[in-house]
Structure 1
Amino acid sequence: MTNLESRPMQLEQFLPYRLAVLADAVSRSLAAVYAERFALTRDEWRVLALLAESGPIKSTELGLRATLDKMQVSRAVTRMERDGLAERQTDDADRRNLVVRLTPAGRALHKKIVPMAQARERFLLDALEPAERAAFDAALDKIHARARQLAEQG
Protein backbone atom coordinates (compact mmCIF):
# COMPACT_ATOMS: atom_id res chain seq x y z
CA MET A 1 0.00 0.00 0.00
CA THR A 2 1.41 3.39 -0.96
CA ASN A 3 1.38 6.44 1.26
CA LEU A 4 -1.40 7.87 -0.91
CA GLU A 5 -3.61 4.81 -0.40
CA SER A 6 -3.04 4.59 3.36
CA ARG A 7 -4.37 8.01 4.28
CA PRO A 8 -8.00 9.10 4.30
CA MET A 9 -8.96 11.13 1.26
CA GLN A 10 -9.05 14.87 1.78
CA LEU A 11 -10.88 16.65 -0.99
CA GLU A 12 -8.57 19.67 -0.93
CA GLN A 13 -5.60 17.37 -1.62
CA PHE A 14 -7.36 15.17 -4.21
CA LEU A 15 -5.67 15.80 -7.58
CA PRO A 16 -8.84 15.99 -9.73
CA TYR A 17 -10.32 18.50 -7.30
CA ARG A 18 -7.15 20.61 -7.19
CA LEU A 19 -6.94 20.66 -10.99
CA ALA A 20 -10.61 21.65 -11.27
CA VAL A 21 -10.19 24.45 -8.72
CA LEU A 22 -7.07 25.71 -10.51
CA ALA A 23 -8.74 25.54 -13.94
CA ASP A 24 -11.76 27.39 -12.58
CA ALA A 25 -9.63 30.13 -11.03
CA VAL A 26 -7.62 30.61 -14.22
CA SER A 27 -10.78 30.56 -16.36
CA ARG A 28 -12.46 33.16 -14.16
CA SER A 29 -9.39 35.37 -14.43
CA LEU A 30 -9.42 35.09 -18.20
CA ALA A 31 -13.18 35.60 -18.32
CA ALA A 32 -12.57 39.09 -17.00
CA VAL A 33 -10.97 39.77 -20.37
CA TYR A 34 -13.31 38.06 -22.82
CA ALA A 35 -16.62 38.08 -20.94
CA GLU A 36 -16.68 41.44 -19.23
CA ARG A 37 -14.98 43.45 -21.97
CA PHE A 38 -16.22 41.66 -25.08
CA ALA A 39 -19.39 39.81 -23.97
CA LEU A 40 -18.08 36.38 -25.02
CA THR A 41 -18.84 33.16 -23.19
CA ARG A 42 -16.10 30.64 -22.39
CA ASP A 43 -17.30 28.44 -25.25
CA GLU A 44 -17.31 31.36 -27.70
CA TRP A 45 -13.77 32.28 -26.63
CA ARG A 46 -12.60 28.71 -27.25
CA VAL A 47 -14.25 28.63 -30.67
CA LEU A 48 -12.85 32.07 -31.55
CA ALA A 49 -9.32 31.10 -30.49
CA LEU A 50 -9.39 27.75 -32.31
CA LEU A 51 -10.76 29.25 -35.51
CA ALA A 52 -8.11 31.97 -35.42
CA GLU A 53 -5.45 29.29 -34.95
CA SER A 54 -6.71 26.71 -37.43
CA GLY A 55 -8.65 28.62 -40.05
CA PRO A 56 -11.91 27.16 -41.39
CA ILE A 57 -12.73 23.89 -39.69
CA LYS A 58 -15.57 21.36 -39.59
CA SER A 59 -17.86 21.90 -36.63
CA THR A 60 -17.29 18.30 -35.47
CA GLU A 61 -13.52 18.85 -35.41
CA LEU A 62 -14.05 22.16 -33.64
CA GLY A 63 -15.93 20.39 -30.86
CA LEU A 64 -13.22 17.77 -30.43
CA ARG A 65 -10.40 20.31 -30.30
CA ALA A 66 -12.27 22.70 -28.00
CA THR A 67 -13.51 19.85 -25.77
CA LEU A 68 -17.09 21.00 -26.33
CA ASP A 69 -20.08 18.82 -27.17
CA LYS A 70 -22.14 19.33 -30.34
CA MET A 71 -24.73 21.48 -28.58
CA GLN A 72 -22.11 23.75 -27.00
CA VAL A 73 -20.44 24.26 -30.38
CA SER A 74 -23.78 24.92 -32.06
CA ARG A 75 -24.83 27.50 -29.47
CA ALA A 76 -21.46 29.25 -29.50
CA VAL A 77 -21.32 29.41 -33.30
CA THR A 78 -24.95 30.57 -33.50
CA ARG A 79 -24.24 33.46 -31.11
CA MET A 80 -21.02 34.27 -32.96
CA GLU A 81 -22.90 34.32 -36.28
CA ARG A 82 -25.51 36.61 -34.76
CA ASP A 83 -22.73 38.95 -33.61
CA GLY A 84 -20.98 38.84 -36.99
CA LEU A 85 -17.89 37.02 -35.66
CA ALA A 86 -18.19 33.68 -37.49
CA GLU A 87 -20.04 32.04 -40.33
CA ARG A 88 -21.04 28.48 -41.21
CA GLN A 89 -20.98 27.04 -44.69
CA THR A 90 -21.66 23.61 -46.10
CA ASP A 91 -18.45 21.65 -46.67
CA ASP A 92 -17.83 21.37 -50.42
CA ALA A 93 -16.10 18.00 -49.93
CA ASP A 94 -18.96 16.52 -47.86
CA ARG A 95 -22.29 18.34 -47.98
CA ARG A 96 -23.36 16.69 -44.69
CA ASN A 97 -20.74 18.69 -42.77
CA LEU A 98 -20.58 22.34 -41.86
CA VAL A 99 -17.38 24.36 -41.94
CA VAL A 100 -17.03 27.26 -39.53
CA ARG A 101 -14.78 30.25 -40.21
CA LEU A 102 -14.12 33.59 -38.62
CA THR A 103 -15.31 36.76 -40.27
CA PRO A 104 -13.02 39.78 -40.48
CA ALA A 105 -14.77 41.09 -37.33
CA GLY A 106 -14.01 37.79 -35.57
CA ARG A 107 -10.35 37.97 -36.53
CA ALA A 108 -10.18 41.59 -35.35
CA LEU A 109 -11.75 40.68 -32.00
CA HIS A 110 -9.29 37.81 -31.56
CA LYS A 111 -6.42 40.23 -32.23
CA LYS A 112 -7.72 42.51 -29.45
CA ILE A 113 -8.17 39.74 -26.88
CA VAL A 114 -4.93 37.79 -27.39
CA PRO A 115 -2.50 40.35 -25.90
CA MET A 116 -4.69 40.68 -22.80
CA ALA A 117 -5.03 36.91 -22.42
CA GLN A 118 -1.29 36.44 -22.89
CA ALA A 119 -0.56 39.10 -20.26
CA ARG A 120 -2.67 37.17 -17.75
CA GLU A 121 -0.95 33.91 -18.69
CA ARG A 122 2.45 35.60 -18.26
CA PHE A 123 1.42 36.93 -14.84
CA LEU A 124 0.49 33.43 -13.70
CA LEU A 125 3.60 31.76 -15.09
CA ASP A 126 5.94 34.44 -13.76
CA ALA A 127 5.36 32.84 -10.34
CA LEU A 128 7.55 29.96 -11.56
CA GLU A 129 11.28 29.86 -12.20
CA PRO A 130 12.21 28.58 -15.70
CA ALA A 131 13.07 25.12 -14.34
CA GLU A 132 9.78 25.00 -12.41
CA ARG A 133 7.91 26.00 -15.55
CA ALA A 134 9.56 23.22 -17.56
CA ALA A 135 8.79 20.70 -14.81
CA PHE A 136 5.19 21.95 -14.57
CA ASP A 137 4.68 21.62 -18.34
CA ALA A 138 6.20 18.13 -18.33
CA ALA A 139 4.06 17.07 -15.36
CA LEU A 140 0.88 18.38 -17.02
CA ASP A 141 1.71 16.46 -20.20
CA LYS A 142 2.31 13.23 -18.27
CA ILE A 143 -0.87 13.56 -16.21
CA HIS A 144 -2.88 14.39 -19.33
CA ALA A 145 -1.52 11.30 -21.09
CA ARG A 146 -2.46 9.13 -18.10
CA ALA A 147 -5.94 10.67 -17.95
CA ARG A 148 -6.45 9.81 -21.64
CA GLN A 149 -5.30 6.24 -20.87
CA LEU A 150 -7.88 5.96 -18.09
CA ALA A 151 -10.60 7.36 -20.35
CA GLU A 152 -9.76 4.77 -23.03
CA GLN A 153 -9.87 1.96 -20.45
CA GLY A 154 -13.29 3.07 -19.28
Structure 2
Amino acid sequence: MAADGFELNAFLPYRLNRAAEFVALRFAAQYKARYQLTRPEWRTLAALGSTGRPMTATEVGAHSAMHKTKVSRAVAALEKRRWLTRRQHEDDRRVEHLELTKTGIRAYGELTELAARYQAELNALIGPAEMQALAVGLEALERAIVRIEKPDNARG
Protein backbone atom coordinates (compact mmCIF):
# COMPACT_ATOMS: atom_id res chain seq x y z
CA MET A 1 0.00 0.00 0.00
CA ALA A 2 1.25 3.48 -0.84
CA ALA A 3 2.23 5.81 1.99
CA ASP A 4 -0.74 8.08 1.27
CA GLY A 5 -3.22 5.18 1.25
CA PHE A 6 -3.89 5.42 -2.49
CA GLU A 7 -3.10 2.26 -4.41
CA LEU A 8 -2.54 3.22 -8.05
CA ASN A 9 -2.49 -0.42 -9.20
CA ALA A 10 -6.03 -0.85 -7.81
CA PHE A 11 -7.37 2.34 -9.48
CA LEU A 12 -9.75 1.21 -12.23
CA PRO A 13 -8.96 3.94 -14.80
CA TYR A 14 -5.26 3.19 -14.46
CA ARG A 15 -5.77 -0.56 -14.79
CA LEU A 16 -8.12 -0.22 -17.77
CA ASN A 17 -5.72 2.11 -19.55
CA ARG A 18 -2.74 -0.21 -19.03
CA ALA A 19 -4.73 -3.22 -20.23
CA ALA A 20 -6.14 -1.37 -23.23
CA GLU A 21 -2.71 -0.11 -24.27
CA PHE A 22 -1.19 -3.58 -23.97
CA VAL A 23 -3.94 -5.17 -26.06
CA ALA A 24 -4.10 -2.35 -28.62
CA LEU A 25 -0.35 -2.02 -29.10
CA ARG A 26 0.10 -5.75 -29.73
CA PHE A 27 -2.59 -5.64 -32.41
CA ALA A 28 -1.24 -2.35 -33.82
CA ALA A 29 2.16 -3.99 -34.32
CA GLN A 30 0.49 -6.64 -36.49
CA TYR A 31 -1.49 -4.33 -38.78
CA LYS A 32 1.37 -1.85 -38.98
CA ALA A 33 3.81 -4.58 -40.05
CA ARG A 34 1.43 -5.96 -42.64
CA TYR A 35 -0.32 -2.81 -43.95
CA GLN A 36 1.72 0.14 -42.62
CA LEU A 37 -1.44 1.53 -40.99
CA THR A 38 -1.46 3.91 -38.06
CA ARG A 39 -3.92 3.40 -35.19
CA PRO A 40 -6.20 6.24 -36.40
CA GLU A 41 -6.18 4.79 -39.93
CA TRP A 42 -7.11 1.33 -38.61
CA ARG A 43 -9.86 2.79 -36.43
CA THR A 44 -11.26 4.84 -39.32
CA LEU A 45 -11.19 1.83 -41.64
CA ALA A 46 -12.80 -0.31 -38.93
CA ALA A 47 -15.55 2.24 -38.29
CA LEU A 48 -16.44 2.46 -41.97
CA GLY A 49 -16.14 -1.28 -42.57
CA SER A 50 -18.11 -2.34 -39.53
CA THR A 51 -21.10 -0.15 -40.32
CA GLY A 52 -21.13 -1.01 -44.02
CA ARG A 53 -22.53 2.39 -44.90
CA PRO A 54 -21.20 5.85 -45.71
CA MET A 55 -20.35 7.95 -42.66
CA THR A 56 -19.29 11.51 -42.05
CA ALA A 57 -15.96 12.28 -40.38
CA THR A 58 -17.93 13.38 -37.31
CA GLU A 59 -19.66 9.99 -37.18
CA VAL A 60 -16.33 8.19 -37.57
CA GLY A 61 -14.90 10.24 -34.72
CA ALA A 62 -17.86 9.47 -32.45
CA HIS A 63 -17.80 5.77 -33.39
CA SER A 64 -14.08 5.42 -32.69
CA ALA A 65 -13.64 8.05 -29.94
CA MET A 66 -11.09 9.98 -32.00
CA HIS A 67 -10.53 13.72 -32.29
CA LYS A 68 -11.53 15.27 -35.61
CA THR A 69 -7.94 16.10 -36.58
CA LYS A 70 -6.90 12.45 -36.23
CA VAL A 71 -9.91 11.39 -38.28
CA SER A 72 -9.08 13.98 -40.93
CA ARG A 73 -5.48 12.78 -41.26
CA ALA A 74 -6.58 9.14 -41.34
CA VAL A 75 -9.18 9.89 -44.03
CA ALA A 76 -6.56 11.64 -46.16
CA ALA A 77 -4.16 8.69 -45.83
CA LEU A 78 -6.85 6.11 -46.64
CA GLU A 79 -8.02 8.19 -49.59
CA LYS A 80 -4.43 8.35 -50.88
CA ARG A 81 -4.35 4.53 -50.77
CA ARG A 82 -7.67 4.53 -52.64
CA TRP A 83 -9.33 2.68 -49.76
CA LEU A 84 -12.06 5.28 -49.35
CA THR A 85 -13.81 7.99 -51.29
CA ARG A 86 -15.37 11.26 -50.20
CA ARG A 87 -18.63 12.60 -51.55
CA GLN A 88 -19.99 16.04 -50.67
CA HIS A 89 -23.41 16.24 -49.08
CA GLU A 90 -25.98 17.56 -51.56
CA ASP A 91 -27.32 20.30 -49.26
CA ASP A 92 -24.31 21.10 -47.06
CA ARG A 93 -20.96 21.38 -48.82
CA ARG A 94 -19.15 21.36 -45.45
CA VAL A 95 -20.18 17.73 -44.92
CA GLU A 96 -18.55 14.83 -46.72
CA HIS A 97 -19.75 11.25 -46.82
CA LEU A 98 -16.94 8.73 -46.52
CA GLU A 99 -17.25 5.28 -48.02
CA LEU A 100 -14.87 2.38 -48.52
CA THR A 101 -13.90 1.53 -52.08
CA LYS A 102 -13.77 -2.07 -53.31
CA THR A 103 -10.08 -2.07 -52.44
CA GLY A 104 -10.88 -0.67 -48.99
CA ILE A 105 -13.54 -3.32 -48.42
CA ARG A 106 -11.06 -6.02 -49.40
CA ALA A 107 -8.42 -4.57 -47.03
CA TYR A 108 -11.02 -4.35 -44.26
CA GLY A 109 -11.88 -8.02 -44.81
CA GLU A 110 -8.22 -9.02 -44.57
CA LEU A 111 -7.77 -6.92 -41.44
CA THR A 112 -10.81 -8.45 -39.77
CA GLU A 113 -9.29 -11.88 -40.40
CA LEU A 114 -6.11 -10.62 -38.71
CA ALA A 115 -8.24 -9.26 -35.86
CA ALA A 116 -10.05 -12.59 -35.46
CA ARG A 117 -6.71 -14.39 -35.19
CA TYR A 118 -5.54 -11.85 -32.61
CA GLN A 119 -8.80 -12.31 -30.67
CA ALA A 120 -8.18 -16.07 -30.65
CA GLU A 121 -4.65 -15.46 -29.31
CA LEU A 122 -6.07 -13.32 -26.51
CA ASN A 123 -8.70 -15.97 -25.74
CA ALA A 124 -5.98 -18.60 -25.44
CA LEU A 125 -3.75 -16.32 -23.37
CA ILE A 126 -6.45 -15.28 -20.92
CA GLY A 127 -8.64 -18.37 -20.88
CA PRO A 128 -12.37 -18.87 -21.53
CA ALA A 129 -13.65 -18.30 -17.99
CA GLU A 130 -11.59 -15.15 -17.55
CA MET A 131 -12.63 -13.84 -20.99
CA GLN A 132 -16.28 -14.39 -20.04
CA ALA A 133 -15.77 -12.57 -16.74
CA LEU A 134 -14.03 -9.72 -18.54
CA ALA A 135 -16.85 -9.50 -21.08
CA VAL A 136 -19.45 -9.33 -18.29
CA GLY A 137 -17.49 -6.59 -16.52
CA LEU A 138 -17.04 -4.56 -19.69
CA GLU A 139 -20.74 -4.89 -20.54
CA ALA A 140 -21.61 -3.53 -17.09
CA LEU A 141 -19.22 -0.61 -17.61
CA GLU A 142 -20.66 0.08 -21.08
CA ARG A 143 -24.21 0.10 -19.66
CA ALA A 144 -23.08 2.59 -17.03
CA ILE A 145 -21.54 4.77 -19.75
CA VAL A 146 -24.83 4.81 -21.65
CA ARG A 147 -26.72 5.77 -18.49
CA ILE A 148 -24.33 8.65 -17.83
CA GLU A 149 -24.21 9.88 -21.43
CA LYS A 150 -27.98 9.58 -21.97
CA PRO A 151 -29.69 10.06 -18.60
CA ASP A 152 -33.17 10.13 -20.18
CA ASN A 153 -32.69 6.52 -21.32
CA ALA A 154 -31.97 5.37 -17.76
CA ARG A 155 -35.44 6.29 -16.60
CA GLY A 156 -37.58 3.54 -17.75
TM-score by length of 1: 0.83
Match of 1:142 among 129, 140, 143: 140
The one-character-per-residue Cα deviations of 1:82-119 (angstroms, maximum 9, x if unpaired) are: 12111111123544311101111111111222111111
* Deviation, structure 1 residue 79: 0.8
Gap regions ≥5 residues in structure 1: 1-6
Q: Quick one: distance in 2 between partners of 1:9 and 1:150?
A: 26
AA aligned opposite 1:32: A
The percentage of aligned residue pairs carrying the same residue is: 32
Contact 1:33 1:113 in 2 (8 A): no
Give the distance between the partners of 1:53 and 1:68, measured in 2 at CA.
Answer: 16
How far apart, CA to CA, are the structure 2 residues paired with 1:37 and 1:141? 31
- What is aligned with 1:78? 76
1:28 matched residue in structure 2: 25
Equivalent AA in structure 1 for residue 31 of structure 2: Y
Q: In the TM superposition, what whole-angstrom CA distance separates every residue of 1:12-43 from its partner, at most 9, and x where no partner exists?
A: 22111111111111111101221111010111
Q: Which amino acid aligns with 2:36?
A: A
Summarize deviations over 1:38-72 as a string: whole Å, max 9, x none.
01011110111111121211111111001111111
Stretches of structure 2 that go unaligned for 5 or more consecutive residues are 152-156
**Equivalent-residue separation in structure 2 for 1:151 and 1:14 (angstroms):** 22
Q: Which residue of 1 aligns with 2:115?
A: 117
Provide the TM-score with structure 2 as the length reference: 0.82
Specify the SS of the correspondent of 1:36. Answer: helix
Structural RMSD (CA): 2.2
Q: Note the 1:3-152 alignment, pairs <5 A.
A: 8-54=5-51, 55-92=53-90, 94-126=92-124, 127-129=126-128, 131-147=129-145
